[in-house]
Amino acid sequence: MSFKFDPSAAEERKYITKAGTYDVKVTAWKADVMPPRADFYIRFTLVNSEGEAVFADIFKKSEKSGTYDRLNQFIASTATNDEIKKYMDRGEFEIDEDFLNLIAERSVGRRLRVVVTERKYQKKDGTEGVAYQGSFFRKHPDGCELPY
């Protein structure tokens, strides 16, 4: 495994801790495989103007309904008009890891709106915990590209 230095690693991390809709920027992504089903996914780090982060996952596998609604939302929310035209011209195609990696790479530095939802879970010690995650993606009203 290779190492890439992150100078912000020692800074205190702040996280979004309330459900709601936030204007965010994509700051990082990581591809991984989620056990036990070995589903390939991309985990995005989304950061608001206060420096608070939330994570959002996009899977290679379609949703239970057989559609790719979350993937479509993410692509539409972070794509430029030229990219949207290219996707439309491409028509229907299979989703693979290369395509998801391409979407992830081009999204870093772009902005969007994310709907953060709350999810309750049981911790290892038996107590209840609360997690916040990016669940739905919307276009930023000023576009996805940050002004220079």
Full-model pTM: 0.87
Q: What is the pLDDT of residues 95-139, one digit of tens each?
A: 999 999 999 999 999 999 999 999 999 999 999 999 999 999 999
Count of C-beta atoms within a 10 Å radius of residue 29: 20
Q: In which band, very low, low, confident or very high, does the pLDDT at 148 lie, cut at 50, 70 and 90? A: very low
Q: In which band, very low, low, confident or very high, does the pLDDT at 147 lie, cut at 50, 70 and 90? A: low
* 84: three-class secondary structure by DSSP: helix
All residues at 6 or more sequence positions from 86 whose CB lies less than 8 Å from its CB, including other chains? none
Q: What is the pLDDT of residues 55-100, one digit of tens each?
A: 999 999 989 898 999 999 999 999 999 999 999 999 998 999 999 9
* Cα–Cα dist 64/34, whole Å: 16
* Cα–Cα dist 91/88, whole Å: 6
User: What CATH number was assigned to the domain covering residues 16-138?
Assistant: 2.40.50
The single residue listed with the structure tokens 């276009």 is: 139
Residue 13 has pLDDT above 70, yes or no: yes
